[in-house]
Structure 1
C-alpha cells in the first residue's frame, strides 16, 4: 500500500501511505537502546518545545511590509492584491508553460519564537480564483546571527488550471534545508538554531485582470523537539467521542493513479475529507463532475487531486492539505505540533478532532494490522480507559475505519522523534505533527483551547 513515488527524507518524516507489512525489528535493540522515561503518568507536557505564530487580524496585516498588497477588514480580515508592484514570467516546471503575471507582496514582521527552532512548518488559508496563485517564503537569522537565504515553502493555487501547485527541491545553504514543506537545521546536534524568521507572501494574477487572491491566515509552527525514542506517559482524561464521517482510502485503490499512485496512498486527503465533512462542508456536485460516477465517495478523489504536490509527487504535503481544507467556507486550518496526548484530549473535548502523523512497525500498534513509514489518521475521541479512538483510513472499507488503539502505544508512536525500522536502523518520527481544522468563528470553549496552544 505504500507509494513508489519519491518521498521526502526521514528528517521530515515522509507521509507514505500506510499498509506495508513490516518485518520485526531486533526487539532487544528497540527496547534497550534508550531508557523509557514514561514511568510517571500524568506528567505535564514539556514547555518551550513548540511556538506558533499566525497573522490573521486586520492589525496583523497592517503591521507587515506591503508592496502592492492591501489589508481588508471584515468578519474575516485578509490580504489582497491592490496595485501590482511588478510583472514577471513564471515557467511552470511541471508543464513547461511560461506565463506572465502581475504580483504584489507582503512581508511579516520579524518573529522571534519562544523556542529557537530546529524545524519550521508554515501554513496558510487562502482563496485563489482562476487566474491567481500565491507563493510563501521564509527567511531567518540563525542563533550565531548569520542569515538564511529566502526559501520557497510552497507555490500554491486551490485549482490546477493556471499553475500546478508545487514544493521546491534542492534548497539549502549547507546549514539548513527545506525538505518539501519543512525547514530544518541540517545538524541539530551542533547547537545551531533558527533564532528568528520572517514570512513573505507573494500574490500573483493574470496581467490586467483585476483579479486577486485573498489570504486570511499565514503563519508557522517553529519547534525544537529533542531526540527521543519514548515519551512520558500521560494520565487519561474524560471519555469523549466525536461523530466524524468515516472514509477508507483503500476503497480507492487504483483510482486516478496520476495522484500519488491512487487511493492506496491517500491517507492524508482521506483524513482531511473526513474532517471537512465533520464541519458540514464539502465539494458541490458541480465540483465533483470530473470524477468517474462509478466511484464511491468521489469527494475523496477530489481531495486527492486538490492536495497533490506535483514536485513531491504525493498528496501528503502538510501545508497543502491544510490549505485545501481552508478553501471551504469559513474553515480555518493549520499545521502544528502538540506536546502531549493531554493537549489532544483538550481539543477533542471542545469538539475539534485532529489529523495526526505517525510511523510505526506492525507490532508497535496493536490492532492496526500494518506497519508504515508515515501515515495520517484522524483522532476523534478517547475511551473511558483513555485509549485513542481513531478514524484510520488504512482500513478495508468505510465500516472498518473506526479503530480503538492502546493509549500508551499510540502516544509513543505519534510523539517520538526517533524509531527503529524493520531492519533495525534508526529513522525519524514526526514528534507530534498534526493538522487542525476549525470554524473561522469558534465557540468560546474552542477559542480558549486554541489560545492555550498559541493558535487563536
Structure 2
C-alpha cells in the first residue's frame, strides 16, 4: 500500500486526438485528415454542479497555438510538440545524482485558460516520448481571483528512463498563498475564499547538444477542482446493469522486498501495479529488452519495471499520479491524464464504454468490508459493477494474483473514495482524495468512449 501526499488526484483519459476522431467518424475520413486546422475550440460546458475543470492540449491546432520559443508543432497520426531551433543551452545539476550536464532547450507556453471552476487545487498531466538523451520540464502558473499570479511552479521533471536525469517532483515551492505538494498545487487556506481562476502551462524540452531530434510531447494540460470538504457524500443510484471488464490481475504483495530502492519494494507498489493492469488490458506490454535488468527468477517482471518507471526521486515513491499517467502513455497509442470524478455513476459510465479506472482512497479496516486492512492511501483498479451496483475491483493489496479480484459494497466504496475528510485509526481528522482517479485509454478513442469521457467531464 502507498501513503500518498494528502489531497493528490489522479485520473487518466483517452484524449490525445479525440476531437479529430469524432470528426473522422462523422465524415467517414481518417482521424489524421480530420484534424482541426483552426484555433482550438473553447472547452465544452460542464454539467451543473461538477466541481472539476479539465483542459488539455493534444491536437496539431493546439500545438500551433501558444507561444513558441524554439519549439515547433508536428503533425501526423499523433500530433505533438518538438524542438525546432533550440533557444539556447543550459546546465542542469541533478539534485539526486550530483551530475551536471549541458542541454539544448526550447519552450512552449500555452494560451491562458480560464477555469470553469474557481479552484483550490490543480494537477498537471502530460504524455511524451523521451528517447535517451532527452527530458522535459512541466510548469504551471496560476491566476488568482484578484488577478495576481502564482510563480511558475515546477510540476515535474520527467523522462521515461532514468539514465540521463532522475525523474522528480520539486519540493519547497510556495508563494505564501499556494504550495506544491509533490504533484498537486493547492491553495493554502481554502476557507479564506482564495481561488485559482485560470492558468498557463509551460513546457521546456531538453536534449543533448547537437542531437537531431528531441523529445515529443503529445498531450499536456491540467485538471482544476474545488471539491467541498465532507466526511460523507450523497449516495448515487446504481444503474442496475452488471458489467465487468476482463482486466489482468496482479498483486503487489508478490513483489514484497524486491528492489527496495524503488519505494521500499512491492509492498508499496499499488500505483504502478494498478497502472500495469490497465496497460495490459489495452494489449500493451513492456518489451523483453526493457525487462533485461529484472532478476529472471521473478514472476511478472513488468511490475518491477512499472515501479522503476514511475519512481519519483524527491517523493521517494511510485505514487506520483502524473508520473503514472505519463508512464502509461509511453506505450503505443495510449493516452493518460489525471482528473477527479464525482460519483460512482461516472465510473459506471466509463465501465460501460469499456474504460477501466484507477481510484485512490483512504480508509480504516472497518470502513471497507472485505478489504482486511486499513490504509492512509491506496490505489486499486475498478473493473466493473454487479447488478446490485457493488464495485468490482482488482485490488493489488492481495496475497497473490488469484486473490486480486474483489467485490466491495457500493456505499462504502463511494464514500471512502469521494470524501475529503475522514477519521484515521487514531481518531484524528485526516484528508481524503475527493474522487481522484487515473484513466488510461487509446489515444484515438472510439465514439462510445468519447461520449463517455465527455459525460464525465474529461473531454
Report the TM-score, using the length of structure 1 for normalisation.
0.91
Mapped partners of 1:365, 1:134: distance in 2: 40
CA distance in 1, matches of 2:93, 2:411: 49
- Structure 1 window deviating more from structure 2 (46-55 vs 390-399): it is 46-55
Q: Is the 8 A contact 1:291 1:301 kept in 2?
A: yes
Structure 1 residues 371 and 13, CA gap change in structure 2 (3 angstroms):
farther
Measure the CA separation in 2 of the matches of 1:11 and 1:296: 34
Which runs of structure 2 are paired with 1:330-349 in the superposition (5 Å)? 330-349=333-352
| Corresponding residue of 1:194 | 196
Q: Is 2:225 the partner of 1:232?
A: no
Instruction: Answer whether contact 2:362 2:432 (CA < 8 A) is retained.
Output: yes
Q: How does 1:357-396 map to 2 (within 5 A)?
A: 357-396=360-399
Runs (5+) with no aligned partner, structure 1:
15-44
- Cα contact 1:13–1:374 (8 A) shared by 2: no
Compute the displacement of 1:211 (Å): 2.3
SS in 1 for 2:315: coil
Contact residue 239 and residue 383 of structure 1 kept, 8 A = yes
Kept in 2, the 8 Å contact 1:13–1:428? The answer is no
Q: How far off its partner does 1:46 sit?
A: 6.2
Unmatched segments (≥5 aa) in structure 2:
11-46
Q: Does 1:352 align with 2:355?
A: yes
Look up the match of 1:64: 66
- Counterpart position of 1:441: 444
Does the alignment pair 1:432 with 2:435?
yes
Could you tell me how far apart the structure 2 residues matched to 1:226 and 1:342 are?
A: 19
2:282 counterpart of 1:279: yes
Q: 1:22-43 deviations in whole A, cap 9, x for unaligned?
A: xxxxxxxxxxxxxxxxxxxxxx
**Alignment partner of 2:307: what SS?**
helix
Note the C-alpha offset of 1:406. Answer: 0.1
Shift of 1:455: 2.9
Select the residue among 206, 209, 212 that pairs with 1:207. Answer: 209
In structure 2, C-alpha distance between the alignment counterparts of 1:110 and 1:101, rounded to whole Å: 28
Residue pair 2:2, 2:378 contacting (<8 A) in 1 also: no
Give, in whole Å, the separation in 1 of the partners of 2:166 and 2:141: 24
Give 3-state SS (helix, strand or coil) of 2:414's partner. Answer: helix
CA distance in 2, matches of 1:86, 1:49: 41
Match of 1:120 in 2: 122
Distance 1:177 1:322 in 2: 22
Alignment partner of 1:309 out of 306, 312, 328: 312
Under a length normalisation based on structure 2, what TM-score does the superposition of the two structures give?
Answer: 0.90
Measured on the aligned residues, the alpha-carbon RMSD in Å equals: 1.4
Q: Decide whether aligned partners of structure 1 residues 66 and 453 sit closer, same or farther in structure 2, where only a CA change above 3 A counts.
A: farther
Name the counterpart of 2:251.
248
Question: Is the contact between residue 53 and residue 454 of structure 1 (CA under 8 Å) also seen in structure 2?
Answer: no
1:113 counterpart SS class: strand
Does structure 1 residue 300 correspond to structure 2 residue 298? no
TM-fit CA distance, 1:13: 7.7
C-alpha spacing 1:442/1:371, structure 2 compared with 1 (3 Å): same
Aligned partner of 1:101 in structure 2 is 103
Residue of structure 1 equivalent to 2:402: 399
Q: Could you list the runs of 4 or more consecutive aligned residues of structure 1 that deviate by over 2 angstroms after TM superposition?
A: 10-14, 451-456
Q: Match for 2:266 among 260, 263, 266?
A: 263
